[in-house]
Chain A
């Protein structure tokens, strides 16, 4: 029942949010309260899952043999905890951001946001691939109004790319992979060890893997990555939670689930296509990082950096070794905390100074010390330096590459980290050491307290995750 509540609660919240649309304070209270309750609900499942329980519930059976049902397993637990915790933080942040930015249609913003989180919970707890697919599509549709929130021509163009890429890949490739898997094996259940082994030839399994990797467009593996920069027309809280955490991580999460429970990592390692796809992921890591270098718009640079980092997780899944899976799973968490901090900072800078371009941010560190300090911390975590959480995921991923005897991939990770340094650190350096323009356009101060509080919190979490990575690690170890 708790499982169902986790999915239903955010899906039902919009009713209350809409009912309170003329009274902003109670309306925001609903969002905060729902996110708090959700976090508690998800956490209440945590101990059971650690002890090996797998709470499950089946709801409907639209087609004979295909059920809509939920089952909590460790990876889903981790993802749900992550998304629900960060939803709460983002809610605080959005209140500060939207109010000081005087955004329109705030009610529909909070409503669709809640639906998107509900869909994310559905993805996290999905008991089979069919259920996961349904919530995957629901997530795309519910975030479309958020991406196009501004309602102008740029938003429409961005929304078109967003919808086109995500629905296009999922309908064309992912759905095909689903139906094909179903017609071959007669089931879409997640089973440890996979369902494909013995049912298909390695050639067909390779085709399926290709369909899955590219079909899960939310994982933004090149060449299906352009939706992510396009989605940056969205308000910053949307970019922060959805396009650094919920949506993109739903993609790589799905890929990990497919790798572990549909293929099974042992079988995955035997498929010839796996290695080939690994090089696609590696190319995405490097190319996206190089493109990020050339972006002057801060949000765009972060978006390209996200594309690059998603492929770290994809690579982790494709390594098909226990260490790779742990590294991939950890990177979902570590990157989420760091990237959401960076987006929070970008939004805070926008609210306080109306600046979006990196070249205008010289000397900003003196006006917004907290924001820029958090930015620096998160940048270091993305790069993977101790004492920050990002260190652990890169550590495990690097061990995974050596374990799988993919030395090339090891160097890809190294070069990737160097590129991270090159495109992220100059921003902080400009902010702290750069000379401010002679006549600053505005006497900017820190962003509203709600925004600053949120980004300081997530930056602190980046540090804490270095010293206490164990909760994450313990959940991931259960997978193997």
Chain B
């Protein structure tokens, strides 16, 4: 009974418990509530993954209304992987959040924080599970609105302008998506994604559908911060509370990519998106621009959080590059990097949170000699950085390998070269931090800095551990990614 309702519970439980956090006046209780819920979500995510792994795609009718009329929840392998990413990051982040939030937020805001966090989790999970286009929009708004609030809670006043900027951009994106979905509804008369995809071919050759495709593509691209629509992201990640940066970097943009995948492959279909609309070429160009330009910009940042934000834009470029190839190999490489990058960037932002807690700054020029005071934090940063660069025995290497291989198999050898050039750029920006922390003489105030508390170090190292494990044994995760890509592209795996 309970197991068969998992798809609904996955979304409903964080949704109903969100207001509870607001009612609990004691911050500790609110935190405990959010902690329990996020672990529960992880448990459900694992159960769901196991169900999908053994039984195949799950379809679930909300309120037992039959599908074209009611809302359908639909989870395939790609969805299960996304849910796992979101739930893992959420669960790991919660023990970490306690000290960090206590330090960065005013006491009266902590309740709001945990409420919005759970709402954001609800939204992200909802986007993934739903099989209904309008429902997807609703969840997208839930996650976006709550993340505007989360970002605005940042410790400096600039968080407010960053949140406002994101609000404007995000609303434009959401409106575009809504227009696109409206046009689709107009032409097909249904909101169920599968239904749309079945009825679409008859009307595909109309201007309305092409316009709908364009609106959706641009709208989702804003959400996932595809270059050059990424301008909201660096500010948002820089000025948000550390936990929020880590959580959003690991999940929010990834879900954006997932939405793009859904629209391209499930709704519009491979034929229409890539052969009729030629979106592959456009995406490839933008992805290459992202991974070169954003990496270059990252090199010149002094604020490490901003540097990591630009690096995120570049890494999203990698993911989109894989997708733009529109082959099983390419899409599965993209999805693999989706997972790996979530783990890498989550860990790196968490390390920055540790540093902010103790140092009160994440600027490179303040980090001189930090490695001696915070050896474990800096070691985590170096390990995560090596994974970002893509050295062997790390997760980043695995995704790079698949990505380059996919590009070479399709004969795009210049792409392969560009991918590797960009990883060299990553080496440069990561090493600037390493040199500052390990080689520069410590400043006067440095001796007062202590190592971060275990409650923050252990979650950070957990994500690093996942990175190293995937680097050693990527069999399971590549298998999931390949199945996910195969189910999206709709062809059996070889």
A137 at interface by CB-CB < 8 Å: yes
Please give, as numbers and ranges, the residues of chain A lying within 8 Å of B421 by CB-CB distance: 172
Q: How many residues of A contact B (CB 8 A)?
A: 28
Q: How many residues of B contact A (CB 8 A)?
A: 30
B282 at interface by CB-CB < 8 Å: no
Alpha-carbon gap, A163 to B430, bound state (A) = 12
Q: Which of A59-80 contact B (CB under 8 A)?
A: 60-64
Are the CB atoms of B408 and A63 closer together than 8 Å? no
List chain A positions with a Cβ less than 8 A from chain B: 60-64, 133-134, 137-138, 141, 148, 151, 155-156, 159-160, 163-164, 167-168, 171-172, 175-176, 179-180, 182-183
- How far apart are B441's CB and chain A's nearest CB, in angstroms? 9
Please give, as numbers and ranges, the residues of chain B lying within 8 Å of A62 by CB-CB distance: 393, 398, 471-475
- How far apart are A65's CB and chain B's nearest CB, in angstroms? 11
Contact partner, B424, options A155, A172, A179, Cβ 8 Å: A172
Alpha-carbon gap, A172 to B420, bound state (A) = 5
List chain B positions with a Cβ less than 8 A from chain A: 386, 389-393, 398, 400-401, 404-405, 408-409, 413, 416-417, 420-421, 423-424, 427, 431, 435, 439, 471-475, 478
Please give, as numbers and ranges, the residues of chain B lying within 8 Å of A175 by CB-CB distance: 400, 404, 420
Please give, as numbers and ranges, the residues of chain A lying within 8 Å of B435 by CB-CB distance: 156, 160
Are the CB atoms of A171 and B390 closer together than 8 Å? yes
Please give, as numbers and ranges, the residues of chain B lying within 8 Å of A180 by CB-CB distance: 408, 413, 416
Alpha-carbon gap, A134 to B398, bound state (A) = 12
Are the CB atoms of B398 and A63 closer together than 8 Å? yes
Contact partner, B478, options A64, A148, A156, A160, Cβ 8 Å: A64
Are the CB atoms of B424 and A171 closer together than 8 Å? yes
By secondary structure, the A interface counts as helix
Please give, as numbers and ranges, the residues of chain A lying within 8 Å of B404 by CB-CB distance: 175-176, 179
Indicate whether A64 sits within 8 Å of B475 (C-beta atoms), given known contacts A168-B424, A171-B427. Answer: yes
Are the CB atoms of A160 and B431 closer together than 8 Å? yes
Please give, as numbers and ranges, the residues of chain A lying within 8 Å of B416 by CB-CB distance: 176, 179-180
Alpha-carbon gap, A61 to B413, bound state (A) = 26
Please give, as numbers and ranges, the residues of chain B lying within 8 Å of A64 by CB-CB distance: 475, 478
Are the CB atoms of A171 and B420 closer together than 8 Å? yes
Contact partner, B405, options A133, A151, A182, Cβ 8 Å: A182
Contact partner, A176, options B389, B420, B427, Cβ 8 Å: B420
Alpha-carbon gap, A137 to B298, bound state (A) = 24
Please give, as numbers and ranges, the residues of chain B lying within 8 Å of A60 by CB-CB distance: 472-473
Closest chain B residue, CB of each to CB of A172: B420
Alpha-carbon gap, A64 to B478, bound state (A) = 9
Please give, as numbers and ranges, the residues of chain A lying within 8 Å of B417 by CB-CB distance: 172, 176
Alpha-carbon gap, A355 to B398, bound state (A) = 48
- How far apart are A164's CB and chain B's nearest CB, in angstroms? 8
Are the CB atoms of A63 and B424 closer together than 8 Å? no
Please give, as numbers and ranges, the residues of chain A lying within 8 Å of B439 by CB-CB distance: 148, 151, 155-156, 159
Are the CB atoms of A141 and B391 closer together than 8 Å? yes
- How far apart are A227's CB and chain B's nearest CB, in angstroms? 14
Alpha-carbon gap, A60 to B431, bound state (A) = 30
Please give, as numbers and ranges, the residues of chain B lying within 8 Å of A167 by CB-CB distance: 389, 391, 424, 427
Alpha-carbon gap, A180 to B421, bound state (A) = 16
Alpha-carbon gap, A63 to B478, bound state (A) = 8
- How far apart are B325's CB and chain A's nearest CB, in angstroms? 14
- How far apart are A453's CB and chain B's nearest CB, in angstroms? 34
Closest chain B residue, CB of each to CB of A183: B408
Please give, as numbers and ranges, the residues of chain A lying within 8 Å of B390 by CB-CB distance: 171
Are the CB atoms of B423 and A171 closer together than 8 Å? yes
- How far apart are A129's CB and chain B's nearest CB, in angstroms? 12
Alpha-carbon gap, A160 to B391, bound state (A) = 17
Please give, as numbers and ranges, the residues of chain A lying within 8 Å of B413 by CB-CB distance: 180
Are the CB atoms of B401 and A179 closer together than 8 Å? yes
Please give, as numbers and ranges, the residues of chain B lying within 8 Å of A138 by CB-CB distance: 392-393
Are the CB atoms of A183 and B472 closer together than 8 Å? no
Indicate whether A61 sits within 8 Å of B392 (C-beta atoms), given known contacts A171-B427, A175-B420. Answer: no
